[in-house]
Amino acid sequence: MKKYVFLTSILALAACGGGGHHHHDYSMPAIPAENAIRASDVASNGTLTAMASEIGVDANGNQIILARGATGTVVRDGVEYTAYRLDDVDFEVLSTPGDTQDLRFTVDKNGRIDGIRFENAPKMVRTGDTDKFTGNGAEAQYISYSKDLGLKYADFGTVHITPAQAGQAAYDRIFAGGYDIKEIDDDNIASDAVFTGTAKGVVTNGTTGTSAQLEDKNASLAFNKATGNETLNASFDNWYDMNVTKTKAGITATFDEAGKTIANDVKFAQAPSANLPEGVTNSFNNLSEAVVFDTEYYGDHNVPSEATALVQYQQIAGSNPNNLQNVNVSMGFGGKR
């Protein structure tokens, strides 16, 4: 029988362009047995996320197990495993309209989450076993929305950021993603797949500052194998019913207000354009739009069991720069098949 070979990924951040799935290659240093993850480390990580603290993968990549609480001398059926820890988790964060950036955990030698790092930014250090992180006078709170969904490979939620500068307002960044090693490319999904779960986010008027929190605990994400189309549906008591579809032609968002009472400040002035490219589109007729629709699928043996998505749509309409209808919706989704 063989021992587990415990490895962990070196933190690496790379810019995430819009529009596709992304993978990174890592150099993997060996983890000595004395640095094995402990029950206390798993418990500490569990205050932040329901994701597995450690995943074991065999040499062929087709025997994947959860190694929660494993030690450096555990043997499973005589098979040698590589261990991936939470610094292999790759999150995307909605940032400026039409764009995303990377977010990653950092872990200590035992696999306990000890920090987070936004793309091209210094590490923020975790405060004890809490959900808060600090750096350069700023504070970030990691808020997971998927703890009740039973996700083990992925997560989504909000990072609530309090800037260092006195008087500057706090703000939220919505994130979604999961273990790179468990991510499945669209081309490798063998059949149609529908995921149900929670969509949660915020709609904001950039001119007046008015905002509304949005949540649908029965949202769905559908993947069509024949066409490659992806569709997210969500319904909100205080806002539109939303349908966002990505096809080879582009991204189309529709918002239905039938039977709804929606505050004027968070209503779109016009129906969104069809088949928008990901990013910012400066249109004619006093209309500018920005859109993001990114999805990720996770599971074993190329069979997806979990999915996440990020959606953002911004519409700026009007001819008077002092009286624009500037409405932006940012949302994350997490669900199971």
- Report residue 43: phi and psi, to 5°: -65, -40
Q: Is the pLDDT of residue 69 over 80?
A: no
pLDDT digits 0-9 by tens, 115-156: 999 999 999 999 999 999 999 999 999 999 998 898 999 999
Whether 55 contacts 64, CB under 8 Å = yes
Write the DSSP string, 206-258.
TTT--EEEEEEEEEEEEE-TTT--EEEEEE-TTS-EEEEEEETTEEEEEEE-T
Q: How deeply is 103 buried, as exposed, middle or buried, from its count of CB atoms within 10 A (0-12, 13-18, 19+)?
A: buried
Distance between CA atoms of 293 and 310, rounded to whole angstroms?
6
Helices (H), the chain: 39-46
Q: Is the pLDDT of residue 5 over 50?
A: no
Q: Which domains, from first to last, does the chain contain?
A: 33-182 (no CATH), 187-336 (2.40.128)
Q: How confident is residue 337, by pLDDT bands cut at 50, 70 and 90?
A: very high
Compute the average pLDDT of residues 54-70.
62
The whole-number pLDDT of residue 60 equals 67
Q: How confident is residue 19, by pLDDT bands cut at 50, 70 and 90?
A: very low
Q: Is the pLDDT of residue 31 over 90?
A: no
Identify the CA nearest to 201 among candidates 188, 216, 190: 216
Cα angle 132, 128, 137; round to 5: 50
**Which residues on neighbouring strands pair with residue 245, listed in sequence order?**
231, 252
Lowest mean pLDDT among 28-37, 58-67, 151-160, 194-203: 58-67
> Which token pair is 56?
């074991």
Distance between CA atoms of 168 and 162, rounded to whole angstroms?
8
What does pTM read for this prediction? 0.86
What single DSSP character describes residue 276?
Answer: B
Q: Is the pLDDT of residue 75 over 90?
A: no
The whole-number pLDDT of residue 81 equals 72
pLDDT digits 0-9 by tens, 246-271: 999 999 999 999 999 999 999 999 99
Distance between CA atoms of 322 and 334, rounded to whole angstroms?
38
Q: How confident is residue 282, by pLDDT bands cut at 50, 70 and 90?
A: confident
> Which token pair is 276?
């928008």
Cα angle 270, 272, 275; round to 5: 155
Lowest mean pLDDT among 38-52, 190-204, 282-296: 282-296
